[in-house]
Amino acid sequence: MPFTTASFFGFAAILTALLAVPAFAQTKAPAPAPQKFELFAGYAYARVPVTVTETRPCSASNPPNATCFPFTANAPAGNLRGFETSAVYKPIRWLGLMADYSGHYGSTAGIDLYPRSRLHLQTFMAGPQVSTSGRMSAFAHVLGGMAHETNAFVAARYIPNLSASLGIVGVDGQDQLAAASRNSLALAAGGGLDLKLSHHFSARLVQLDYILTTFNSHQQDQLRASLGLVFHF
């Protein structure tokens, strides 16, 4: 069989292809290992109502040592600022287990005898989180856990016969302080958006959560907004 020009070019093409296969295999970068953990830390804002329990001053018709009926209500919501941190473990790419801790601090308006309140709210929650992948990724989660509230209500004046369980201190004619520390079950649902900055870092553009607590057997509906930096590894 004569060796023609067409045969030569066909043979050369086959030989080039065979030589290119191992060269391509050597130069192709290996796929990056899946990132199973992410840590978030950032600024958080919370809109928090405060539950006030107070004992009304006794009227002149009550006995001198009478204990007056306690009154409980939600004070107007206040703006608290603080931080949020969270850790997520992802056994699979789109599903993770999240642990979340946040702390918020500030002053709020009170009610009736207590016109001002200094408040510290902490939440400890965990639950599942689902997320998308890509340069811009979205996530959503449902969390449950505990909330701890510490508040100090500053009274306008000294009121006699207040409940000792409120920790009242003060003297006649001066301001007084009613300090309280409580725990409650907490539930949260929310989500947000992350923007990938590099292989290991993302910017959390926004995270919004609705948080439900039941301090003093009253329901508190709270909104939390966060932003910050996420580390992936």
The domain spanning residue 162 has which CATH number? 2.40.160.20
Q: Is 177 exposed, middle or buried (0-12, 13-18, 19+ CB in 10 A)?
A: middle
Judged against a pLDDT cut of 90, whether residue 113 lies above it is answered with no
In one-letter notation, the amino acid at residue 199 is H
Average pLDDT, the chain: 78
Single pTM value for the model: 0.71
Mean pLDDT on 157-177: 46
What's the pLDDT score for residue 155?
58
- What local confidence, expressed as pLDDT, does residue 34 receive? 82
Mean per-residue pLDDT, 57-80: 61
Q: Is 193 part of any domain?
A: yes
Residue 27 lies in a domain: no
**Residue 28, domain member (yes or no):** no
pLDDT number for residue 49: 80
pLDDT, position 169:
46
Confidence bin at 142 (pLDDT 50/70/90): very high
Q: In the numeric block, which tokens belong to residue 134?
A: 């890509």
Question: pLDDT value at position 48?
Answer: 87
Q: What is the span of the domain harbouring residue 69?
A: 34-232
CA-to-CA distance for 175 and 158, rounded, in angstroms?
Answer: 6
Predicted confidence (pLDDT) at residue 194 exceeds the cutoff of 90 = yes
Please determine, for residue 36, whether its predicted confidence score (pLDDT) is greater than 90. yes
Minimum mean pLDDT range among 147-151, 171-175, 192-196? 171-175
Is 99 part of a structural domain of the chain? yes
Question: Percent of the chain at pLDDT above 70?
Answer: 60
CB 114 within 8 A of CB 107: no
* The pLDDT value given to residue 16: 55
Q: Decide if 62 contacts 68 (C-beta within 8 A).
A: yes
Q: Would the pLDDT of 173 be above 50?
A: no
Residue 181 — very low, low, confident or very high, per pLDDT cuts 50/70/90?
confident
Whether residue 81 lies inside any domain: the answer is yes
Give mean pLDDT, residues 185-190: 98
Evaluate if residue 25 carries a pLDDT over 90: no
Count of domains observed in the chain: 1
Half-sphere exposure in the Cβ direction for 134 (13 Å, CA): 7
* pLDDT range class, residue 108, cuts 50, 70, 90: confident
Q: Is residue 6 part of a domain?
A: no
Distances (CA, A) of 80 to 45, 118, 152, 225: 6, 10, 15, 11
Which of 91-105, 143-157, 211-225 shows the highest mean pLDDT?
91-105
Averaged pLDDT for residues 18-37: 63
Over range 136-153, report the average pLDDT: 92
Q: What is the largest CA-CA distance in the chain?
A: 128
Is the confidence at residue 82, as pLDDT, over 90?
Answer: yes
